[in-house]
Structure 1
Amino acid sequence: MKIPKRIQPLVDDGLVDEVTSQLMSGKEASVYIVRCGETIRCAKVYKEISQRSFKKAAAYREGRKVRNSRRARAMEKGSGFGRDQQEKVWQNAEVDALYKLAAAGVRVPKPFGCFDGVLLMELITDDEGYVAPRLNDVVIPPEQAIEDHQVMMGYVVKMLCAGLIHGDLSEFNVLVDEYGPVIIDLPQAVDAAANNNAEWMLARDINNMRDYYGQFAPELLTTEYAKEIWALFEKGDLKPDSELTGEFTEADTLADIDSIMQEIDSARIAELERRERAKEASDGVDESKFNWAEPQ
């Protein structure tokens, strides 16, 4: 196929030898299958901010630090230079998260570097060599659902111990190969210690997984992993190999307070995202979902 303009510099530099097909086009990036020597990989091309529907909501950016004070000031003011720097921080967040999580024992695609807004990484395939399906596209026996859910809870714990929360974890951001689930799409990963929305985002990630796997194993729907994991994290007792039960007991009064705070957090995040959308309304919105296809 014709080489996309953004990938051409990688071809010129010998990092990519051939673009074989487009794998998907999503709200923040397009992904292509590429050949690098004898190895097949994928290239994630981040869309320009004016072409994206996901606008890096303030709730996700909170807590991300920039060492260069000039860049930080420009990002706060929203100048042209500042927006360019914010874009680089957004893209580098995914690369940094991939390296950090792989080192922590979380299954993610292996990164090979980010070059001017193009992330080269491992192509996850099934046991027949085809592109691995998303979790949303597979039917799972009850026993397998319980096993894979436990694996995912283990990954969430390892991520949290590494200081990160995915922030957008769902059945659409998990691939399934012959060895089990693989977590993808991490540009919005948040700092668990510095982001005030961390607890809310962690609970949403965990409950998304609970609800999805619970379709196949209903007993999972009554679990309370989100509260159990966060309680251990707050106490400083959470370890990568912590044994979880999925159970959590709290006093009725505390439960009521927790419910109220949850509603406050939800309203605050909704307002932050509304302001973000209003600020960038002139950029246009495309709500199309991912379209996955097997390599041609």
Structure 2
Amino acid sequence: MAEAVALGAAMRGRTAPNPNVGCVIVRDGVVAGRGATQPGGRPHAEAVALAEAGERARGATLHTSLEPCAHRSHRGPTCAALIAGAGVARVVAAIEDPDPRTRGEGFAMLRAAGVEVSVGAGAEAARRSMEGFLTRLALGRPYVTLKLALSIDGKIALPSGESKWITGGDARAHVHLARAQADMILVGRGTLLADQPRLDVRLPGLEDRSPRRALLTRGEPVAGWEILRSPEDIFRLHNVNDLLVEGGSGAATAFLSADLVDRILIYRAPIIIGEGRSALGYIGLEAIADAHGRWRSADGRSLGVDRLEVYERVREPAA
């Protein structure tokens, strides 16, 4: 299951609106087929793995990070039907598909066909790998990551606006990896005018992973950019599971004020700027007590001379 989850995670940012699923088929202790959902969402991971396994799938165990689909589509047969037809003996799935068109039906179809089904192995890792898809199904919007590059004292630029480069090469490379896992990147108009950012992925071998570009502005549209008039416009985005908000202070403040940030990536450089531009403006808090309990530290590591801090929004489980 760990390999199946990793295969799916590698496709994050490429499969929307479908989930980024991974699948591994094992027969007699030997891997017979591997697959991940392909760009654009088809073919699904199970179909890719079954095609590689061929006749070796008969009597095998199929590990998948998400319940095989059961809803019919003009784009091909259901994965549950493909699995049953291939003679797979057992399916091990990490989590149930929350899509109401499949939820539980994929497992029911498999069991009706005589396939043994087990659910729950690797569930937490699978959920993390598909946060974008799961958030969109649960909340009707993408999973939103906010990226901030800061000095020790929390500044994003000098008073003049100069900000290149606060962090070093290792941190910037990690940002490009985060871009490769997003379906869309958003900046504010101020950042566009000041930096003319390309917002592409410039890591060797991942150049084709550059996401769509969005601009948060109430001004005139800009050629080559998708326009969002407010953070709430993310509820109308199509084919976006993961949204990366890169800058600047206005966009970051707007999304935090609207409570539409799920994760924060802080790249902190070992420099002190003093007087300069702050990362955020007023986000609506009236008391320090209101700030506590909203975020939890999820990760931290060194990236060359810089430090990555990851924080996740603490939210009440959906009813």
Which structure has the highest helix share of the two? 1
Higher-Rg member (1/2): 2
Which structure has the highest strand share of the two? 2
After TM superposition, the score normalised by the length of structure 2 is 0.24
After TM superposition, the score normalised by the length of structure 1 is 0.25
